[in-house]
Homo-oligomer: A and B are copies of this chain.
């Protein structure tokens, strides 16, 4: 069987494929799905577990039970597969869609989105020197020179990650008013920044460093997110350990 058998009839222009996790009335346990955005027609959502249960080529070719991997409430197992395997799967799925070779029973019409990955850790970086410079300016400080040489980040709370369109609750905390008096209560300065998140998906053994040229094996994909911050709480708590409660409510 040729290595590129899955790819030979690919025609991926004008089609975007987004992975996600969804649940619905007929499948209350969240499971993996793919949103296919086709410039020539309306969007379609494919239940990946049903699809791979019917089309066993993937299983036969790779020796991997794709239908089991996709019957889970997160994409973690799929995301940890080698990037080449995921690439062939992706191109073949798009090709099958273009050639109308996905059975109708695989398409979902009613569903709700869930978090796509079971995220156990996340770190929040400055995206650029300009971002760090602006933040320092807003704090009335100089930009530390480590920004130019090493990643500047803090560890976030994975429990603050919520899926789009869920309500955002105003966090409570301690803030200082213009007269230097302290107050406990809901933030008066809730702010958000639109950011890009990357899913790092392939496990790395403890103490191992990843060479730059292997980075592509570790990045599953990206997601847009809103990083919410209670600025008044952040101003009060930031020194000396960095932001914590002001960033802990929702991302």
Report the bound CA distance from A118 to B47 in whole Å: 30
22 contacts across the A-B interface (CB closer than 8 A) = A120-B158, A121-B159, A136-B240, A141-B240, A146-B174, A149-B174, A150-B236, A150-B237, A151-B244, A151-B245, A152-B237, A152-B240, A153-B244, A154-B241, A154-B244, A155-B156, A155-B244, A162-B206, A169-B206, A207-B249, A240-B242, A242-B243
Interface residues of A (CB under 8 A from B): 120-121, 123, 135-136, 139, 141, 144, 146, 149-159, 162, 169, 172-174, 182, 206-207, 209, 236-245, 248-249
Contacts of A174 in B (CB 8 A): 146, 149-150
Contacts of A156 in B (CB 8 A): 155
- Nearest to A143 among chain B residues (CB) is B240
CB distance A240 to B159 under 8 Å?
no
Contacts of A209 in B (CB 8 A): 172
A238 to chain B, nearest CB (A): 8
CB distance B157 to A121 under 8 Å?
yes
- Nearest to A166 among chain B residues (CB) is B206
From B135, B139, B146, B241, A237 is in contact (CB under 8 Å) with B146
CB distance A158 to B121 under 8 Å?
yes
Contacts of A149 in B (CB 8 A): 174, 182
Contacts of A207 in B (CB 8 A): 169, 249
Also in contact, A236 and B146, with CB within 8 A (given A154-B244, A169-B206): yes
CB distance A240 to B139 under 8 Å?
yes
Report the bound CA distance from A86 to B239 in whole Å: 39
Contacts of A240 in B (CB 8 A): 135-136, 139, 141, 144, 152, 238, 242
- Nearest to A152 among chain B residues (CB) is B241
Contacts of A241 in B (CB 8 A): 152-154, 242-243
Report the bound CA distance from A111 to B238 in whole Å: 44
Report the bound CA distance from A244 to B153 in whole Å: 7
Contacts of A169 in B (CB 8 A): 206-207
